[in-house]
Amino acid sequence: MSIKIYHNSRCSKSNAALKEITRSGEPFEVVNYLENVPSVEELKDVLTKLNLKPFDIVRKTEKVYLEKYKGKELSDEEWIKALHENPILIQRPIIVNGAKAVVARSEEAIDSII
């Protein structure tokens, strides 16, 4: 199984992406990342597949970001640690398929990875 979705069931974009993956008929794994928090190494792997920096996947409207991180200059390692410690900050949904991944907030992004 090569498709994996980092999912938050309380997010409409995440639910829409999950519905599209289900419709595709491809086997997939759902990671409820707020409960099963990705390890630092897993986050690094996903970022490599996304071809993004950690700050690029930070949800900048979340209360924890605004209270603890807004305006701070953190290194990539520090951002990865922040994402691991505060998984609510991770953009969602993220779909990984083999060696590629996308932040699947649009139909085009979903279609490009399935």
pTM for this prediction? 0.94
Residue 11: active-site member: yes
Q: 3-113: what CATH class? A: alpha beta
* In the predicted structure, residue 96 carries a pLDDT above the cut 60: yes
Catalytic option among 3, 11, 30, 88: 11
Note the pLDDT tens digit of each residue in 1-59. 589 999 999 999 999 999 999 999 999 999 999 999 999 999 999 999 999 999 999 99
Q: What is the pLDDT of residue 2?
A: 84
Q: What is the pLDDT of residue 1?
A: 57
What would the mean pLDDT of 90-111 be, rounded to a whole number? 95
Q: What angle do CA 41, 43, 49 make, to 5 degrees?
A: 105
